[in-house]
């Protein structure tokens, strides 16, 4: 039934992903051949594969296709959304094959080779009628239609394929359809939604069905099918809660999207439209549950769920999430957020301070915080907001929880209230991780034992997580006094281990044989995660950047999956061995890279030193040059000044020369005048002398005359 309807939904994908390349088409073809019991479909697939392998010699192939540069078209990894260059066959980020079989066989498809489609779905019947011992699964293909309008460069992580991937794992494991009871989906009513959300919020979500694409926040999208998907998700959760609480089924798993735990009373955010868990809690109460416990193990804090119940003593909310002092999305959920208005202690936050949190940390927090408080609360009904984004391999969570960890947590909660438990899918973005984790959880719900052989329950937690758990206990023991005794015991253990740790030589990460003076990295509080490439998603495109950075990293490591590797049967342990192998390989590559970089660094440093010297020489030369230039400039000025002076002098000389000529002329004139006057005077003198002579002649004549006449009279006078 499920497979059939999915097939029809796939038609939509063919249209939407039209340019998505052959990878996607082949994948969908596999899906439509999903009836793998039919021998003919298997053989036709074989024929198809061999045709593809020989297509280059195929003379019928259109020339257009031959010239197309197929190699350079990038492809997005089905498993983790990572973009990869066209000539890569395996995803840089997660190792998944370009033509991954994950959508047809879930986590059971080998991640390292193209799925050959030969895995058989186990056909078991018996889940078609509900029984008090059955596990109900809520699923509906119409939730697949909620998807982001494809104009963005990168697929949104909260994508439709999350559902078929999990469904394919369940089908391949023979769990569902088959051994679980499929609950009929219905859209939740507005009235029911208004137990949780404002009427305006419900209307706002409904309005999006009029639009091809819309956004509540930059990362919370809607298309024309989103409102219905959100109503179906909430409807499934509501009905599962009712069925489980009333005892018609034992427990249930809601395989739903969009997720819900970030959706608050009046806000859609963080990929969430309606708060599915909150609706389920209130429906369970309407069906008679007095106390409901919501445990939220999504890697993000369920700010919406906390807001809805923070004043409510009848619904306890316990969340474990990355917090990092509020730097991790959505930033809320500090340990001191404990509930308000008399409901203090009914909200419990376990805020991890770093990435890389693993099974033993979660189990430790469960043992010392979640279970003690939950059993003191003594709920009638337990809801798990089960995001699988704290899973190993998740691109957003960068944590390390394995399917074994999830099954153990499920088992621990199941012991709480006679197993009346509803697990609701929230986040989780690595298809392989979410499928294997969800399958493990459902198996526990179905009564299969959790993998007890793993030493996760006894191994000590990381110090950072121990610190967090102690902080939470210290805060919560005011409200839950039973915590006090174990708190003081753990505190003294912590103190002792601290002293011990100080005495111990520090553990150092051996970087490389080549790095002679590489600084030793001290491994302290946080255990390093294999997938912790700080791959955070803020919804405004920064995911793209980080993803590209990761791609770069992988490109640098040159991780080449080994083609000779045996493609052994797809069993989970094997998968994790594969993961471990690939991780080991990447660590080795990192070490080699570090050595190379150290070398490069040394040469670069020497070069730098040389260049520095050269630079200094050049600087001193330049100084000299400057000095010379200054001198030249001064000389130039001096020359200019002297030229000016010369000019002045020249004109002076000219002036003087002129005045000298003047003087000479004037002298000549004077001389002439003098000469003239001299001759004049001479003439005058001569004439005067002449006159004088004449006068004296006259005079003497007169005198003689006079003397002759007056001789007697004048003798004695003279
Ligand atoms: C449901 C869930 C994550 C939102 C991250 C937004 N939401 N940057 O995992
Ligand atoms: Zn999440």
Q: Where are the alpha helices (DSSP H) in 63-110?
A: 63-67, 102-105
Residues 346-372, mean pLDDT to the nearest whole number: 96
Number of helices (H), then strands (E), in the chain: 19, 14
Give pLDDT, residue 203: 97
375 C-alpha vs ligand 2 centroid, how far in Å? 26
Report the nearest-CA residue for atom 6 of ligand 1: 270
pLDDT of residue 45 exceeding 80: no
Average pLDDT across the chain, whole number: 79
Q: Is 219 in the pocket of ligand 1 (CB under 6 A)?
A: yes
- Nearest-ligand number for the alpha carbon of 260: 1
Report the nearest-CA residue for atom 8 of ligand 1: 538
- Nearest-ligand number for the alpha carbon of 271: 1
Give pLDDT, residue 93: 82
- Mean pLDDT is lowest, of 319-328, 405-414, 613-622, 676-685, for 676-685
Half-sphere exposure of 290 (CA within 13 A, CB side): 3
For the stretch 467-524, pLDDT in tens is 999 999 999 999 999 999 999 999 988 888 777 766 655 444 333 333 323 333 333 3
> Which of 148, 158, 260, 270 has most ligand 1 atoms within 8 Å of its beta carbon, as the pocket-test mutant?
270
Q: Is 243 in the pocket of ligand 1 (CB under 6 A)?
A: no
425 C-alpha vs ligand 1 centroid, how far in Å? 13
Contact (Cβ atoms closer than 8 angstroms) between residue 261 and residue 387: yes
Q: Is 271 in the pocket of ligand 1 (CB under 6 A)?
A: yes
Rg of the chain, C-alpha, whole Å: 51
- Residue 358: name the closest of 501, 157, 573, 526 by CA: 526
For the stretch 152-211, pLDDT in tens is 678 899 999 999 999 999 998 899 988 999 999 999 999 999 999 999 999 999 999 999
Q: Is 259 in the pocket of ligand 1 (CB under 6 A)?
A: yes
Report the nearest-CA residue for atom 3 of ligand 1: 270
Q: Is 262 in the pocket of ligand 1 (CB under 6 A)?
A: yes
- Mean pLDDT is lowest, of 38-42, 380-384, 386-390, 465-469, for 38-42
d(CA 390, CA 392): 7
- Nearest-ligand number for the alpha carbon of 330: 1
Contact (Cβ atoms closer than 8 angstroms) between residue 47 and residue 122: no
> Which of 274, 297, 323, 329 has most ligand 1 atoms within 8 Å of its beta carbon, as the pocket-test mutant?
329
Q: Where are the alpha helices (DSSP H) in 85-221?
A: 102-105, 162-172, 190-193, 199-207
Report the nearest-CA residue for atom 1 of ligand 1: 427
d(CA 190, CA 192): 5
Q: Is 351 in the pocket of ligand 1 (CB under 6 A)?
A: no
> Which of 219, 256, 262 has most ligand 1 atoms within 8 Å of its beta carbon, as the pocket-test mutant?
262
429 C-alpha vs ligand 1 centroid, how far in Å? 10
550 C-alpha vs ligand 2 centroid, how far in Å? 20
Number of neighbouring beta carbons within 10 Å of residue 234: 33
Ligand 1 atom closest to Cα of residue 543: 8
308 C-alpha vs ligand 2 centroid, how far in Å? 18
Confidence tier at 24 by pLDDT (50, 70, 90):
very low
In degrees and rounded to multiples of 5, residue 178 shows phi and psi of 140, -75
d(CA 195, CA 238): 12
pLDDT of residue 636 exceeding 70: yes
For the stretch 275-329, pLDDT in tens is 999 999 999 999 999 999 999 999 999 999 999 999 999 999 999 999 999 999 9
Report the nearest-CA residue for atom 5 of ligand 1: 270
Report the nearest-CA residue for atom 7 of ligand 1: 270
Give pLDDT, residue 688: 86
256 C-alpha vs ligand 1 centroid, how far in Å? 15
Burial (0-12, 13-18, 19+ Cβ within 10 Å), 541: middle
Give pLDDT, residue 580: 55
d(CA 530, CA 586): 9
Give pLDDT, residue 481: 95
Residue with tokens 């570090």: 594
pLDDT of residue 658 exceeding 70: yes
- Mean pLDDT is lowest, of 123-127, 355-359, 628-632, for 123-127
565 C-alpha vs ligand 2 centroid, how far in Å? 34
271 C-alpha vs ligand 1 centroid, how far in Å? 6
700 C-alpha vs ligand 2 centroid, how far in Å? 164
d(CA 270, CA 591): 37
Q: Is 298 in the pocket of ligand 1 (CB under 6 A)?
A: yes
Confidence tier at 549 by pLDDT (50, 70, 90):
very low
Pairing outcome for strands 508-509 and 521-522: antiparallel
- Strands (DSSP E) contained in 169-250 are 181-183, 213-217, 220-223
For the stretch 437-473, pLDDT in tens is 999 999 999 998 766 555 555 678 898 999 999 999 9
Q: Residue 716 CA to chain centroid, in angstroms?
A: 162
Q: Which residues contact 50 (CB under 8 A, 6 or more apart)?
A: none
Q: Which two tokens stand for residue 62?
A: 């259109």
d(CA 11, CA 619): 71
**108: cis peptide before it, omega within 30°?**
no
Report the nearest-CA residue for atom 9 of ligand 1: 427
> Which of 427, 428, 434 has most ligand 1 atoms within 8 Å of its beta carbon, as the pocket-test mutant?
427
For the stretch 101-126, pLDDT in tens is 888 888 888 777 776 544 444 444 44
**258: cis peptide before it, omega within 30°?**
yes
Contact (Cβ atoms closer than 8 angstroms) between residue 391 and residue 406: yes
Percent of the chain with pLDDT over 70: 72
pLDDT of residue 370 exceeding 60: yes
Q: Is 427 in the pocket of ligand 1 (CB under 6 A)?
A: yes
Give pLDDT, residue 154: 81
Residue with tokens 């040159």: 558
- Strands (DSSP E) contained in 464-548 are 508-509, 521-522
Entry pTM = 0.64
Given CA atoms 126, 127, 129, 135 in this order, what sign does their dihedral have? positive
Burial (0-12, 13-18, 19+ Cβ within 10 Å), 278: buried
pLDDT of residue 5 exceeding 70: no
- Nearest-ligand number for the alpha carbon of 321: 2
Torsion of CA 406, 407, 409, 415, to 10 degrees: 160
Q: Which residues on neighbouring strands pair with residue 423, listed in sequence order? A: 253, 384
Q: Which two tokens stand for residue 699?
A: 């005079």
Q: How far is CA 537 from CA 94, 218, 434, 547, 554, in A?
A: 17, 11, 18, 9, 19
Q: Which residues are catalytic?
A: 262
């Amino acid at each position: 039934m499920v497979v059939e309807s999915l097939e029809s939904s796939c038609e939509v994908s063919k249209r939407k992903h039209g340019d998505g390349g052959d990878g996607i088409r082949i994948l969908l073809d596999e899906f439509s051949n999903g009836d793998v019991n039919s021998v003919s479909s298997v053989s036709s697939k074989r024929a198809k594969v061999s045709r593809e392998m020989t297509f280059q010699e195929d003379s019928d192939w259109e020339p257009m296709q031959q010239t197309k540069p197929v190699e350079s078209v990038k492809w997005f990894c089905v498993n983790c959304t990572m973009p990869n260059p066209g000539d890569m066959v395996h995803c840089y980020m997660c190792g998944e094959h370009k033509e991954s079989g994950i959508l047809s066989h879930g986590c059971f498809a080998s991640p390292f080779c193209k799925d050959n489609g030969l895995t058989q779905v186990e056909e078991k019947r018996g889940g078609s009628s509900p029984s008090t011992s059955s596990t109900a699964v809520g699923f509906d293909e119409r939730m697949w239609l909620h998807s982001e309008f494809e104009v963005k460069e990168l697929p949104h992580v909260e994508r439709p394929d999350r559902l078929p991937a999990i469904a394919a794992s369940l089908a391949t494991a023979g769990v569902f359809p088959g051994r679980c009871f499929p609950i009929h989906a219905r859209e939740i009513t507005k009235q029911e939604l208004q137990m949780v959300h404002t009427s305006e919020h419900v209307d706002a979500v409904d309005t999006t069905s009029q639009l091809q694409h819309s956004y509540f926040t930059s990362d919370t999208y809607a298309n024309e099918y989103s409102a219905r998907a959100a109503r179906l998700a909430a409807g499934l959760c509501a009905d599962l809660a009712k069925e489980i609480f009333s005892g018609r089924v034992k427990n249930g798993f809601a395989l739903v999207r969009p997720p819900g735990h970030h959706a608050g009373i009046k806000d859609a955010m963080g990929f969430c439209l309606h708060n599915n868990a909150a609706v389920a809690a209130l429906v369970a109460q309407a069906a008679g549950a007095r106390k409901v416990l919501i445990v939220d193990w999504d890697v993000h804090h369920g700010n919406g769920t906390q807001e809805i119940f923070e004043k409510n003593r009848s619904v306890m909310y316990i969340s474990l999430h990355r917090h990092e002092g509020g730097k991790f999305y959505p930033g809320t959920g500090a340990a001191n957020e404990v509930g308000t208005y008399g409901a203090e202690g009914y909200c419990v936050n376990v805020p991890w301070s770093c990435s890389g949190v693993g099974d033993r940390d979660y189990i430790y927090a469960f043992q010392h915080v979640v279970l003690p408080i939950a059993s003191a609360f003594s709920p009638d009904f337990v809801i798990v907001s089960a995001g699988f984004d704290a899973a190993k391999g998740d691109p957003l969570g960068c944590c390390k929880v394995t399917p074994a960890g999830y099954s153990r947590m499920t088992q621990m909660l199941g012991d709480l209230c006679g197993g009346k438990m509803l697990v609701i899918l929230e986040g989780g973005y690595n298809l392989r991780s979410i499928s294997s984790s969800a399958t493990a959880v459902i198996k526990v719900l179905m009564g299969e034992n959790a993998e007890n052989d793993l030493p996760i329950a006894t191994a000590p937690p990381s110090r950072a997580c121990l610190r967090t758990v102690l902080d939470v206990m210290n805060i919560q023991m005011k409200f839950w006094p039973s915590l006090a005794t174990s708190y003081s015991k753990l505190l003294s253990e912590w103190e002792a281990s601290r002293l011990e740790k100080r005495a111990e030589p520090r553990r150092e990460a051996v970087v490389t044989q080549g790095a002679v003076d590489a600084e030793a990295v001290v491994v302290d509080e946080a255990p390093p995660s294999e997938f912790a490439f700080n791959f955070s998603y803020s919804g405004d495109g920064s995911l793209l950047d980080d993803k590209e950075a990761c791609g770069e990293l992988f490109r640098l490591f040159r991780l080449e999956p080994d083609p000779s590797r045996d493609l052994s049967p797809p069993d989970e342990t094997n998968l994790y061995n594969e993961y471990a192998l690939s991780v080991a390989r990447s660590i080795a590559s990192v070490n080699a890279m570090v050595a190379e970089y150290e070398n490069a660094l040394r040469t670069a440093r020497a070069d730098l030193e040389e260049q520095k010297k050269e630079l200094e020489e050049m600087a001193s030369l330049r100084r000299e040059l400057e000095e010379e230039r200054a001198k030249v400039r001064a000389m130039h000025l001096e020359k200019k000044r002297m030229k000016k002076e010369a000019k002045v002098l020249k004109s002076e000389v000219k002036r003087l020369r002129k005045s000298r000529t003047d003087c000479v002329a004037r002298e000549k004139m004077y001389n002439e005048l003098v000469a003239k006057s001299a001759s004049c005077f001479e003439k005058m003198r001569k004439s005067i002398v002449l006159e004088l002579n004449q006068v004296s002649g006259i005079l003497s004549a007169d005198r003689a005359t006079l003397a002759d006449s007056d001789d007697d009279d004048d003798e004695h006078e003279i």
